Structure 1
Amino acid sequence: MLTPYFADMHIHVGRDIYGKPVKITGSKNLTLTNILKESSRNKGIDMVGVIDSHAPAVQQEIKNLISEGKAYELTDGGIQFEEVTLLLGSEIEVYDDNCLGPIHVLCFLPTLEKISLFSEWLTTKMKNITLSSQRYYGTAKELQYKVKELEGIFIPAHIFTPFKSLYGKGVRESLEEVLDPDLIDGVELGLSSDTEMADQIKELHAYTFLTNSDAHSLAKIAREYQEIKMDKPSFKEFLWALHQLEGRKVTKNFGMNPQLGKYHTTVCNKCFSKLPSDTIECPVCGSKKIIKGVFDRIQELKQGSNFKRERPPYLYQVPLEYLPALGKRTFEKLLDQFATEMNIIHHVSFEELVKIVPEKLAHYIIQMREGKLEIEAGGGGKYGSVKSK
């Protein structure tokens, strides 16, 4: 029987077991073990993709958990730790002769053996295998071929972000300028776009859309995620869901309203004034450093709004930490009472909430669940915000 599971497939590792940086901008307590504990015990996420698993020290930490009896490999791929399944992934920066700018992609491998072989290959194509999101020296298609040779999954990451993404700066108009479309298993939308925006681009109709957190800290895990109908969380089931095989599929995308993303609108990178998309020089401060917003970039690329694929609902949510008046102690009280963030966000009734938190905050949580929060748009690297009433 197929069951809905929550999954966040883009989480970074800040530090390895030796205390050395993996994602330099990641939190120091964002270790592989802490990610698994936070996801299982507090977040209530059923499957996570840790996309720095190519780093040898991260693989060693997984092996240590297995040798200690705290985790084990699944027959269908992935690592089980308590109530969460780990998929072994790698975020890689591609910048070959066909790219206008660097592109980030996610590669998932089914087993420790496969990710180890992938890492060995990457050492011939990358200067520092111990770090996250490193520049890969080779063609994008060559990378795709290697991932498929190792029975992996290939997903372009945060495809509209102005920097280091497929449509942000990577291609002029089409993904076929750089990638083999037949070797793409799905695409990740990123924080500044949603299903309706992305589906204006015809060549994306063939792919399942993913919404992931790109977490650089424990708190940011599951700020975006999806509900996936599977037999159980595993590598094989995830792959089948991406291609909608035998009833497996993404059934809901949960993401922040695109206006909350850092790059939704076109802004001046110096004074953050919101500007028309064709602005060359900021009329407010005179800066010529203009960051084109995701909304405006999609307007350049769109080919109409005749959607050719039935999509799951895209439900606007924000992390609990975004809610006005939700402090650390109140958050801890909610977790003590209701166990996980997924329970609080999806299941706990208003009547139950007001027994623990002020009525105003309970209303915020219900409004968030229903996608009714008022927000202030972000842009130019500055997040949007929830308006307090």
Structure 2
Amino acid sequence: MKRYYVDLHIHIGRTWTGKPVKITGAKSLTFTNIIEHARHEKGLNMIGIIDSHSPEVILEMESLVSSGDMIEHPDGGLAFGDLTVIPGSELEIYDEQCNGPIHVLCYFPTIAIMREFSNWLAAHLKNVQLSSQRIYVTGIELQGKVKELSGLFIPAHVFTPFKSLYGKGVNKSLTEVFDPALIDGIELGLSSDTRMADQIKELHHYTFVTNSDAHSLAKIAREYQVVLMKEPSFLELGKALKNVEGRHILANYGLDPLLGKYHKTVCAQCAHPAGEEDQICTLCGKNKIIKGVADRILELKTADQSPDQRPPYIHQVPLEFIPGLGPKLLEKLVDHFGSEMAILHEVPYQALTEVVPPKIADMIMNAREGKVTLTAGGGGKYGKIAD
């Protein structure tokens, strides 16, 4: 068994011919750029690219396999050197039953199955070329199709105020939307962590995943997990999500929820703090109150502690959040030490000071050890680290 760094939620901004996939994604987020950046800059071992249903993306994957740059693993997944790609799709369900919109993640073992899923999707949504499209079937129907194709199904960023299972304040249980037996994991999102999520008892049955939801290359691996598997393949990932045969998640690494964009309840117009029941901002008078994830979870609370054997959630500050560590200096660090994973986890203090000023090295070490002061985010604005 080995330890693998895994981020299962990365968007594609453009196809190899320049067509948009994720409208809000960076143009540099092509499939090829993602796999090269994830492997060489981030140091990840497995990634989920969740816009792989787009027909031109399928063509790019097939081209990379034909050229020998990628190899299809016999147990599922696409090997790019020591990086494994899991093809996936993010979709939006919204019907009378689900009180949506709700985003979900679907993953498949092979390009052929992804193509079959894409062909099926084309008959149930308006534009199969684009990411995160509304699909005109119920959540349970979608789950059934995913399982028919031997896929994995994970509700996405489940507490985010927009487009998530619990975020709108309407759904109180996943059983209102999904078949609980056909869920393979729960993605937490940037504004919550394990301790917060485990206040909802029905989630105790599921493995938690922490992913970046990257809309740019820099955001890849801002959240991830370390997974114990025999090898990085689709089959092994499925076993790890089910905690069988010794495969499991060793630790979730993610932002301190205070750094998330939606942790506290605030006015989106002026960022003034608001109470749980406030509808109008008491400072600017605007009707733009966005309920924070922390308050929403307290509304849903049905448990006081996590179940036994839940892996640790380790609060980690992405390097791009470090004050004073700009793109050029970060590039210098990565070139020197090989990957962001090495800098975050392994490089000793003295070695850091040989590349960056001591103040930045101190900040990296303090962040690694959880010794930084944070201001909470909310209303769509990230929290910050105090200089």
> Matched residues in 1 for 2:305 and 2:335: separation?
46
Which residue does the alignment assign to 1:115?
Answer: 114
The answer as to 2:11 corresponding to 1:12 is yes
Q: Is the 8 A contact 1:53 1:59 kept in 2?
A: yes
Secondary structure at the counterpart of residue 169 of structure 1: coil
Q: Is the 8 A contact 2:191 2:258 kept in 1?
A: yes
The structural deviation recorded for 1:68 is 1.3
> Matched residues in 2 for 1:362 and 1:79: separation?
36
Alpha-carbon displacement from aligned partner over 1:304-335 (angstroms, at most 9, x marks no partner): 21332321111111211110111223212211
Classify 1:236/1:171 alpha carbon distance in 2 versus 1 (closer, same or farther; 3 Å).
farther
Which residue does the alignment assign to 1:198?
Answer: 197
Which residue does the alignment assign to 1:384?
Answer: 383
Secondary structure at the counterpart of residue 204 of structure 1: helix
> Matched residues in 1 for 2:143 and 2:282: separation?
44
Alpha-carbon displacement from aligned partner over 1:268-326 (angstroms, at most 9, x marks no partner): 12111111111121110111221100000000000121332321111111211110111
Which residue does the alignment assign to 1:308?
Answer: 307
Which residue does the alignment assign to 1:207?
Answer: 206
Q: Is the 8 A contact 1:205 1:309 kept in 2?
A: no
Which residue does the alignment assign to 2:150?
Answer: 151
Give the number of aligned pairs.
387
> Matched residues in 2 for 1:328 and 1:29: separation?
15
| Equivalent residue runs for 1:225-264 within 5 Å | 225-264=224-263
The structural deviation recorded for 1:83 is 2.2
Q: Is the 8 A contact 2:3 2:226 kept in 1?
A: yes
TM-score, with normalisation over the residues of structure 2?
0.99
The structural deviation recorded for 1:101 is 2.3
> Matched residues in 2 for 1:382 and 1:23: separation?
21
> Matched residues in 1 for 2:282 and 2:244: separation?
52
> Matched residues in 1 for 2:213 and 2:327: separation?
22
Q: Is the 8 A contact 2:125 2:134 kept in 1?
A: yes
Q: Is the 8 A contact 2:169 2:296 kept in 1?
A: no
Which residue does the alignment assign to 1:139?
Answer: 138
Q: Is the 8 A contact 1:160 1:166 kept in 2?
A: yes
Q: Is the 8 A contact 2:42 2:340 kept in 1?
A: yes
| Equivalent residue runs for 1:7-86 within 5 Å | 7-86=6-85
Alpha-carbon displacement from aligned partner over 1:144-186 (angstroms, at most 9, x marks no partner): 0000000000000000000000000274311100100000000
> Matched residues in 1 for 2:123 and 2:209: separation?
30
> Matched residues in 2 for 1:375 and 1:308: separation?
28
The structural deviation recorded for 1:91 is 0.2
Amino acid at match of 2:82: E
Alpha-carbon displacement from aligned partner over 1:48-95 (angstroms, at most 9, x marks no partner): 000000001001111111111111100010001122100000000001
> Matched residues in 2 for 1:170 and 1:93: separation?
17
Which residue does the alignment assign to 1:320?
Answer: 319
Classify 1:181/1:218 alpha carbon distance in 2 versus 1 (closer, same or farther; 3 Å).
same
> Matched residues in 2 for 1:169 and 1:117: separation?
32
Secondary structure at the counterpart of residue 125 of structure 1: coil
Q: Is the 8 A contact 1:99 1:170 kept in 2?
A: no
Q: Is the 8 A contact 2:263 2:376 kept in 1?
A: yes
Which residue does the alignment assign to 2:215?
Answer: 216
> Matched residues in 2 for 1:224 and 1:383: separation?
14
> Matched residues in 2 for 1:10 and 1:308: separation?
25
Greater mean alpha carbon deviation, residues 297-306 or residues 239-248: 297-306
> Matched residues in 2 for 1:178 and 1:131: separation?
24
Which residue does the alignment assign to 1:298?
Answer: 297
RMSD (Å), alpha carbons: 0.9
Q: Is the 8 A contact 2:212 2:219 kept in 1?
A: yes
> Matched residues in 2 for 1:185 and 1:171: separation?
23
The structural deviation recorded for 1:249 is 0.3
| Equivalent residue runs for 1:280-295 within 5 Å | 280-295=279-294
Classify 1:227/1:85 alpha carbon distance in 2 versus 1 (closer, same or farther; 3 Å).
same
Q: Is the 8 A contact 1:171 1:178 kept in 2?
A: no
Which residues of structure 2 form unaligned runs of 5+? none
Percent identity, please.
57
Q: Is the 8 A contact 2:165 2:171 kept in 1?
A: no
Secondary structure at the counterpart of residue 343 of structure 1: helix
Deviating beyond 4 angstroms after TM superposition, the runs of 4 or more aligned structure 1 residues are none
> Matched residues in 2 for 1:26 and 1:167: separation?
25
Q: Is the 8 A contact 1:101 1:170 kept in 2?
A: no
> Matched residues in 2 for 1:171 and 1:109: separation?
30
